[in-house]
Amino acid sequence: MAEPPVNVSTLRKMKAEGEPIACLTAYDASYAALVDAASTDVVLVGDSLGMVVQGHDTTVPVTVDDIVYHTKAVARGLRHAFLIADMPFMSYTSPDQALDNAVRLMQEGGAMMIKLEGGADQVEIVEHLARHDIPVCAHLGLKPQSVHKIGGFRVQGREPDQAKEMVVAAKQLQDAGADIVLLECVPNEVGDATTKALDVPVIGIGAGPHVDGQILVLYDVLDITQGRTPRFVKNFQQGHDSPLAALVAYVKAVKDGSYPKPEHCFS
């Protein structure tokens, strides 16, 4: 029997019931259909497409048109998973600009939620979007769009003050109307504290095992990415004879808690 579509209430219920949320990125209809067939709960059209699809070194060159194009394609491949689309670099510098671009991702692309990077500095934007019933995922920790400002892709929240600030910012964003918080590349302790402090689901990528769900970049999971990958990446293609089998193994590992292991975490 077909699984019912996932929505915001499903995700909140999963958090309340302690069922891990399995998430992946996707960028086209064929892979989206595979990710969906593997019973992934959430699919993100990430601006990581700038790196893994377009071949850039960072996510900075990605445009709203790029995200709309890929979100449309992914939406056609999904039946079950909840679809989130990324707001690219400089597409949410004011509340009105953020609203215009979020509406494009939802109306033209078919996204059910938008994701934006930022901490307490984004509270006004999140409030404005939430006031217009735009579901929001707030991305904290390592913010790849800020790579040139922070000087590289590195673990965030290692200092106690920085860690505390991140948990406070996550709470402020939730209170402003964010429906999901995504934490990238932070010590386990920050993942744990944020998850305990929030009512909304916390999805981690390199945020340890104590969050409500995990997300990875699809091309990393399927061992398509060449060269060095971050510590939190696990190649699920190894030992499986098809991309679908690898994706099923990823979802199972998130659900039964066997991913992430200590070697994928920062503490």
Residues contributing to the site for ligand KIV (CB under 6 A): 25, 44, 46-48, 86, 139, 182, 184, 205, 215, 217
Question: In angstroms, what is the minimal distance from the CB of 140 to ligand KIV?
Answer: 11
Contact 237, 244 (CB under 8 A): no
Among residues 124, 127, 184, 263, the one annotated as catalytic is 184
Half-sphere exposure (Cβ direction) of 17: Cα atoms closer than 13 Å: 9
The Cα 259–Cα 208 span in angstroms is: 9
- Cβ distance to ligand KIV smaller for residue 161 or 236: 236
Question: In angstroms, what is the minimal distance from the CB of 24 to ligand KIV?
Answer: 9
- 203-207-211 Cα angle (round to 5): 45
CA 131 from chain centre, in angstroms, equals 22
Contact 140, 195 (CB under 8 A): no
- Cβ distance to ligand KIV smaller for residue 182 or 253: 182
For the chain, the farthest-separated pair of C-alpha atoms sits apart, in whole angstroms, at: 49
- Cβ distance to ligand KIV smaller for residue 3 or 26: 26
- Cβ distance to ligand KIV smaller for residue 48 or 156: 48
- Cβ distance to ligand KIV smaller for residue 182 or 246: 182
Question: In angstroms, what is the minimal distance from the CB of 216 to ligand KIV?
Answer: 8
Question: In angstroms, what is the minimal distance from the CB of 241 to ligand KIV?
Answer: 26
Question: Does residue 189 carry a catalytic annotation?
Answer: no
SS3 114: strand
Question: In angstroms, what is the minimal distance from the CB of 52 to ligand KIV?
Answer: 8
The Cα 28–Cα 141 span in angstroms is: 27
260: which 2 tokens? Answer: 């992430």
Nearest Cα neighbor of 156 from 114, 121, 185 is: 185
* Alpha-carbon torsion angle 23, 26, 29, 34, nearest 10: -50
- 136-91-94 Cα angle (round to 5): 80
255: which 2 tokens? Answer: 């659900």
- Catalytically annotated residues: 184
